[in-house]
Amino acid sequence: MFGNLFEEDYSSVSNSQYGKGKKLKTKGLEPPAPREFTNLSGIRNQGGTCYLNSLLQTLHFTPEFREALFSLGPEELGSLEDKDKPDAKVRIIPLQLQRLFAQLLLLDQEAASTIDLTDSFGWTSDEEMRQHDVQELNRILFSALETSLVGTSGHDLINRLYHGTIVNQIICKECKNISEKQEDFLDLTVAVKNVSGLEDALWNMYVEEEVFDCDNLYHCGTCDRLVKAAKSAKLRGCYGGHYHVYIKDVDHLGNWQCQEEINDMDVHLKDLQNEEEADDPLMILKTILLQEETNQIPVDQLGQKLLKKTGISWNKKYRKQHGPLRKFLQLHPQMFLLSADESTVSLLKSHLTQAPSDLQRNREQILHTLASEPPGLSDNTSCPHWFDINDSQVQPIRENAIAQQFQGKESAYMLFYRKAKLRRPSEARANPRYRVPCHLLKEMDEANIQLQMRRAECDSANNNFELHLHLGPHYRFFNGALHPEISQTESVWDLTFDKRKTLGDLRQSIFQLLEFWEGDMVLSVAKRVPAGLHVYHTLDGDELTLCEAEIADGEDIFVWNGIEVGGVQIQTGSDCEPLLLHIVHLGMSGEGSKCEQLVESPHVFPANAEVGTVFTALAIPVGVILTNSVESTDEECWTAISKEDMKKTFREQGLRNGSLILVQDADSDDNSLLPRQGRWTSSVDELNWLQVKNLCQLESDEEQVQIAATVHTVVFDIRIKAIKELKLMKELAESSCLRPIDRNGKLLCPVPDAWTLEEAEVKMGSSLGLCLGKAPTSSQLFLFFALASDIHPGAEMEVIVEETLSVRDCLKIMLEKSGQRGEQWHLRKMDWCYEAGEPLCEEDATLKELMICSGDTLLLTEGKLPPPGFLKVPIWWYQPARLSGHWESRDHSNCASPQGSSWGSAPTQGAPGPEPADVTLLYLGDVEISEEATLVELKSKAMALTSVSELAVRSTALLRVWTVENKRPSRLLRIDWRQLKEYRLGRRTELCLELLQKEEDLGPRDVLLRTQLRIPGERAYTLAMDLVWDTTRGWTAGSLRQRVADFYSLPVEKIEIAKYFPEKFEWLPISSWNQQVAKRKKKKNQDTLQGGPYYLKDGDTIGIKNLLFDDDDDFSTIRDDIGKENQKQLALEKKKSREALRAQNSNVFSSAEMRTRPRGPEASLSIHVASFR
């Protein structure tokens, strides 16, 4: 129970074989643990320093010693900051001892470190890893302190507190003369064998008289002869303290709980079966944990103890209501603390823990002093306050338990005593700050604040997940998967979130983050697959924590409406996961007939699609399909799929991402890859060649030759053979290279001569071009580049550059080679869909640092990139249509306003205004502005544009700012003082300005709507009027109807309202009694217009019908009829175009080719002290 004085704490210690003279310091990845319930700090063991820790704790708990040391200020001891100065006299040992005592008193950590102190001793790992005698250490330490304190007011500290004198007396029996001899001591050595206690040992050693008689007479100086005498000794001036290791806390600095109180808390749970508390699992588990000495227990054992105490298991009594035991503990972090691997659980010290966000919000309330801690779990003044301190561990212990420890053969090794008559001042009781120097108080307070902040950060790091939010409105579905419609940076937002919070909390946080979001929000788990992004399952159950929902760190979360993306309905689940397959088949010649050249193209299919859909993708009516595993190194393991298996799915057939499929036409001739019998006979023999074409622009008898090769053939050998068989000049051996040719005839990146075909990933049977020029070296890059305004096959140019070249220099080379002039250009990297990707913003970075590889395509894009932290925003003028029901055609593509054009007057608030169905946007110019700038500063910059000056805008307060999406105003930007970065505009955002007649001040709950009153008897509406709707009381249909009725001074029961969807030319009536039923959850949704099917937002058009004059159910106009008819015609034309394209082109991925890329002995103890004499 009490441990051993010399038993070491090896929890953070390695073996001593790691070398001599070098410190073994554990890297502190996490902040030290806070103090346990005793509120006392232990001392960490450095390997063999338990004897040092015990002595230091004893001295620390001797208040006379501690306070005498604290009384010495920096003016006498110097400062640790000056210890390295050559002429400074810094008394390092007492300073470090002061600092250690201050940490033991005030620093909120489970155990203090003595590394700085032992460094001041001049110790190396030899002393720290070796056990020594504590009495020897005590004498050496006292000697070192005396030497260090020479010349200070504490020069006699040790002598004053611990000095004692032994007076040896001899009394002559004849003349009664007393002869005395004094001996100084700091400690006494006594023999304890065969004695009942310390008093007997002292009596035997020093007090008991020794009689000189018979043959052992004493020579008396006074009598001048041998006489009988008695010799004895007396102890003078002895001070002391506590049992060593077992410390008496005379100042009641620690929390001590008497055993009787623990017994009172040890509730007999079986007796409480019928009481109300027994039904509360929190109370039961708390009581079980309180009975544990270490306040920690494995979760599995907790369940066993519950069964033992109550006679009933957790699963039988509580699981149905509260779930599994481990999840129950996770759901109550305010009381239970689970380890990182959730294998053990302990009871929190305060039973109530602030959330991580609260810790940061209330930094000013961080603990500044441990004196504010409760003085103890028991205020009983008669409590003896003994503690068992074993290195880092501090436990309360009863006095009689210490006595029982030494009633047998075992004896204490070293004892410290303190006079019983010494009394402590009342202000010292339970006050660890008592007489601590001010500079140490300040240091400890600051250290406590840092510790709390580190623990909050550590708690955040341990419990926070990094989630990647993929925003559905920024994605589109093509090529069988989801792909960002804009840049990856703007489509994916990273969110750090506490895994202990619920899905409902996550949903609410995302709602707050995405201010532009409209309608229902569905969160689904997605994963990146080679084909793109795929959605797997929807996250249901808002009451579940992220752990219970099995969300992992770094999870991809797709945020959408749960139905469609960009108008395309999305299939979800692992069953329909998109598979990227490589299909090898005979290519088409320019005349549309089959050629002998093998081509390989990537295709994407759902995993649950039938294998036979391959023929549909290739526009082949029927044929033979053979499969070969991509992982296989055996080139002969082709397997033909039978007709019966054609109806199996790709997954059932065992195909996966990267699988290779060979497709053979049923009507192929004898020279094809398969004979007519349909059985595979010798595929490798027929694919053991490469075709090399002469592309050197030199005359030759042959245009192309076949070169026999294997996957291990070196490219250099193939090139030399091709030069010979093509009968070209030998000089080409030094100035030519081989380049793969893709299925479209495009030359790919040159292949290094030293590579084998396998290393270069060149397929057998493919075509290579023999071209002029050398292949790039290992430090060079072969890049394609093209003008972003002219992206089409064959438009790419080529260049070889060093990989250490900067983006700026690379841009200059490409501009010069393409014949472009000017400095208003930047580079973008083309993605695999042949679309412009992210810009290369870091112009001083090298191509290698930006991970540009050989074969990549860069696009020369006109327009100078703004500096980091700046936005370049196109500004448009929002000029609404003037009349409703009478439509005029306007050319929206006209970006610039012609000189002298007339601008329409702006709509007034409360007056007829714009109708979204007919939007006119006029281009004003670009504004370059910092993301740190505010919205009003953006307005000011826009007003400075030349085009805006013609409009005579008087004030920024008269401008309303919208984002532009799909050539329409989309999101209203409000609050002038808000910074632009808070709107998360992105690099491709466009804005439009709307002129107001008077200033407006829209609140965060106000919604701006365009309202139009229907003209009775006509399929037309009056001019639009702006209506501000306060949604503080909710987004309900009843609230909106009441606001509209008040605005138009109509009875609420005599109006009907509907929202207009201009992209569909449809009106959707809004009724206050509408209740939408979700098919998935089969329960009523909250009656909110923010969600489906209305998705109400700023700028939406609301049609109002006065039932007093117009009781027709129809809200549509003539223009809506025309628009719907045009949409039908457009859809029909698209369908015909797709069918024609499918008939002409056998490869649906002709515009999205995917290119592959290359892969000791006993020693004396000493403390070194400088001389201060």
Token pair, residue 615, equals: 């023929």
Please identify which of the residues 60, 172, 220, 242 carries the catalytic annotation. Answer: 242
DSSP string of 52-95, one letter each residue: HHHHHHHHHT-HHHHHHHHT--HHHH--GGGTTSTT----HHHH
Name residues whose C-beta falls within 8 Å of residue 632's C-beta, 6 or more positions apart in sequence. none
* CA nearest neighbour of 744 among 1147, 466, 372: 1147
Q: Edge-to-edge, what's the strand order for the sheet holding 639-640?
A: 594-606, 578-588, 660-665, 623-628, 639-640
> Can you tell me whether residue 889 is helix, strand or coil?
coil
Does 242 participate in catalysis according to the annotation? yes
Closest CA to 988 of 916, 926, 945: 926
Strand partners, 170: 179, 231
Distance in angstroms (rounded) separating the CA atoms of residues 21 and 15: 14
Could you give the 3-state DSSP secondary structure of residue 1017?
coil
Q: Which of 260, 240, 237 is nearest to 248 (CA)?
A: 240
What does each C-alpha distance from 1155 to 725, 750, 830 come to in angstroms?
29, 13, 12
Name the token pair of 359.
């810790």
Rounded CA gap, 664 and 681, in Å?
14
HSE-CB for 179 with a 13 A CA cutoff: 14
474 labelled catalytic? no
Amino acid at 361: R
Q: Which of 54, 27, 110, 464 is nearest to 296 (CA)?
A: 110
Residue 615 burial class via C-beta count within 10 angstroms: exposed 0-12, middle 13-18, buried 19 and up: middle
Amino acid at 86: P
Cis peptide before 63 (omega within 30 of 0): no
**418 φ/ψ sector (left φ>0, alpha ψ -120 to 50, else beta):** beta
Q: Which of 50, 576, 737, 992 is catalytic?
A: 50
List, in order, residues 6 or more apart from 304 with CB less than 8 Å away.
none
- For residue 45, the SS3 value is coil
Closest CA to 248 of 63, 71, 9, 66: 63
Per-residue exposure over 710-719, b if at least 16 CB sit within 10 Å of its own CB, e if not: ebebbbeebb
**Cβ-Cβ contacts under 8 Å for 546 (sequence gap 6 or more):** 465, 497, 498, 499, 500, 501, 502, 503, 506
Map residue 1132 onto helix, strand or coil.
helix
Rg, Å, the chain Cα set? 44
Sheet of 178-185: strands edge to edge? 178-185, 164-172, 229-236, 210-212
Give the C-alpha separation, 83 to 100, whole Å: 17
Active-site residue numbers?
50, 242
